[in-house]
Amino acid sequence: MQEFKIWFEIGFDHIINYQALDHILFIVALTVIYDIKMIKKIVILITAFTVGHTLTLILSTLNLIQYDQKIIEFAIPLTIAITAINNIRKRNQALLGGVNSNYYLALFFGLIHGLGFSNYLKALLIGDNILLELFSFNIGVEIGQIIIVLLFLCVSFVFSKIFFSKRNEWILFVSSLILGISLLLSTNAKFW
């Protein structure tokens, strides 16, 4: 149980940390188009991201895939930018029930984000039970993401009602802000 707790805390701290700005921006970009009443859809969306993140962490930790870390560090802010652009493009459309393209986006981009942290995580994994450590780590990540989402949804509810007359204006504002930040991050991470 102690081992689970340690790795849970490492995963949680990975998300609830100022150095996880790229991760937080991506989570906010994914969820800004949703409203607080859609919490079930949001949790499924965040879980899709965690599944992608987990798959590449496992594959990388077990040395089943190889990649250039510099390309991944450049690709992560691009995933944020693409998500923000997608939000801006779709801000006037009402979200319909069922699985939409955001779930696939979250899953696919989760694969890329998982590679971004895998080298650091590989250096930390020392125990005999790597699968338990990865599982615990990812549960910590998931809980941290859900806390960020809940905090953002509360802020979103208040700010979108006070400062913006229409929901699509709030989505445009937040997504544009995230797009700008992600483009700055990508210029800092260029690999050429």
Question: Mean of the per-residue pLDDT values for the chain?
Answer: 88
Indicate the number of domains in the chain. 1
pLDDT value of residue 99: 46
pLDDT value of residue 192: 61
Over residues 185-192, mean pLDDT: 80
Is residue 28 over pLDDT 50? yes
The domain in which residue 31 lies consists of: 2-188
Percentage of the residues of the chain whose pLDDT score is greater than 90: 48
105 phi and psi angles, rounded to 5 deg: -60, -45
What string of DSSP letters covers 48-107? HHHHHHHHHHHHHHTT-----HHHHHHHHHHHHHHHHHHHHHHTTSPPPSS--HHHHHHH
Q: Which tens digits make up the pLDDT trace of 142-176?
A: 999 999 999 999 999 898 889 998 888 999 999 99
